[in-house]
Amino acid sequence: MTLGKERLSGRTYMICAAVLAFAAWCAIKGLLFFGQPAGALTIMAVVVAAAVAASLMLRRRLDEAGRSAERFAWYWGGGGAMALATVYLVTYMAAGAPWLDLALRGAWSPIELIALGAFGVAATQVMGFAIAGAAWWLKRR
Amino acid sequence: MKNRLKVLRAERNWSQADLAQRLEVSRQSVNAIETGKYDPSLPLAFRIARLFDLSIETIFEA
């Protein structure tokens, strides 16, 4: 599913750089708002830059079937998992949501809630992506 | 989409990995194309046709 030679266009790199710059700006503004130390910002910037670089390298090595699998996995896996998670959250909140209740009473700080939310979204999408991607390849074995 | 890729490959005693290397795609992609479970893009179909020195319609049929 991976192999060399395929190259991403300059436009793709520019879009990635623009999205990354915007995300970094938002994240830094947000973290500064919550009074996070500069060390945390530096670590976050390094981790995000490494993740983006790894993603681009992996994407560049995918052949056309791999890219089809990836598109399918992000659309159906990532999107489907988020839809299921939304249904779960709505059901959970309708049932009283003891966990959200705790959060609203101040058991967690705003920055902890943001981190939990970001982690929840990322983990949900990655799980959906992995399942849908595996299904795509298994179906074509 | 049906195709003659497996036969053409066998005639040349190439493994799926050999063909994949020649086409610059993964072995999994070759397998998926051979079994008719993945339709290659037009550029890849041209590469396949060029590699076997045949026309696209000789290799693939709808």
Sequence spans of domains, chain B: 2-61
Whether residues A65 and B31 touch (CB distance < 8 A) is answered with no
How much is the mean pLDDT over chain A?
A: 82
B20 to chain A nearest CA, in Å? 9
Q: In 3D, which of A63, A14, A25 has the Cα closest to residue B30?
A: A63
Reported ipTM? 0.76
pLDDT top residue among A129 and A15: A129
Give the helix ranges, DSSP H, for B1-62.
Answer: 5-11, 16-23, 27-34, 42-52, 56-59
3-state secondary structure of B60: strand
> CB of A2 within 8 Å of any CB in chain B?
yes
Tally C-beta pairs within 8 A across A and B. 41
Name the CATH topology of B2-61: 434 Repressor (Amino-terminal Domain) (1.10.260)
Percent of chain B exceeding pLDDT 70 equals 98
pLDDT by residue (tens digit) across A69-114? Answer: 999 999 999 999 999 999 988 888 888 777 777 666 777 777 778 8
pLDDT grade for B57, boundaries at 50, 70 and 90: very high
Is B26 within 8 Å of B20 (Cβ atoms)?
Answer: yes
Residue of A nearest to B41 (CA): A64
Show residues of chain B in contact with A137, CB under 8 Å: 28
